[in-house]
Structure 1
């Protein structure tokens, strides 16, 4: 009897799967080339870059040399997440990261840098 009650529920669409990045932040793919990192209190901008880069590498299977841009314009409003893009034409002007050295100076960074330089494991503080 319970099975007949649950069967129609299995036909309902499931929400998009959320991805937990190695720094504990949540990212979701919101378009073919867009990744949204959900707002998290007390996180810096580089934490968002980490989560987007980690999603692109592990969930999407993209190579480390793939470029990542910020699509959300600065400044973001309180409580808003940040949208990132893999498409240079969707980058928000002036919203990327500055980097020194070789590579394009367009505010993008490679996924390997987003993960390798900005991912840090957050250990929650318990009272």
Structure 2
């Protein structure tokens, strides 16, 4: 399953891919997996934003739903990131550093992924 998900991340994105509020694409690649293809110049937190936004708006999941990174660290050059909603599929040690309350299992809620990591990007147009 993980190999299939990685291959899907490397393939060209489908026309129907979800466009997150930060301009990145996200796609469901399994029952509980969300793939965010590589996007040049983006930080890892931007990938969390796209996965969280997809889970919240496309899958209509509650904001309290937990999200884990399924791709191991470090992310290779040109690689996207695979996320999971299933704790048993998480990559050990690949979560974000956490401060404050909440579980210390490498996950964040999809609400936190969106509220803390989504920056709306306004494209620059030359007229």
* Cα deviations by residue, 1:35-85 (Å, 9 ceiling, x for unpaired): 000110000011000000000000001000000000000011111100000
**Secondary structure, in 3 states, of the residue corresponding to 1:28?**
strand
Q: Shift of residue 34 of structure 1?
A: 0.2
Kept after mapping to 2: 8 A contact 1:70/1:85? yes
Structure 1 segments (4+ residues) deviating >3 Å: none
Q: Structure 1 length as normaliser, TM-score? A: 0.85
Kept after mapping to 2: 8 A contact 1:16/1:28? no
**Counterpart position of 1:74:** 73
Q: Shift of residue 99 of structure 1?
A: 0.9
Once residues 86 and 41 of structure 1 are traced to their aligned partners in structure 2, the CA distance between those partners, rounded to angstroms, is 25
**Cα root mean square deviation, aligned:** 1.3
Alignment CA distance shift 1:27-1:77 (3 Å): same
**Counterpart position of 1:83:** 82
| Equivalenced residues, count | 113
**Secondary structure, in 3 states, of the residue corresponding to 1:49?**
helix
Q: Structure 2 length as normaliser, TM-score? A: 0.85
Q: Shift of residue 17 of structure 1?
A: 3.0
Structure 1 unaligned regions, length at least 5:
1-14
**Counterpart position of 1:52:** 51
* Cα deviations by residue, 1:6-32 (Å, 9 ceiling, x for unpaired): xxxxxxxxx683100000000000001
Q: Shift of residue 126 of structure 1?
A: 4.0
Structure 2 unaligned regions, length at least 5:
1-13
Once residues 16 and 32 of structure 1 are traced to their aligned partners in structure 2, the CA distance between those partners, rounded to angstroms, is 20
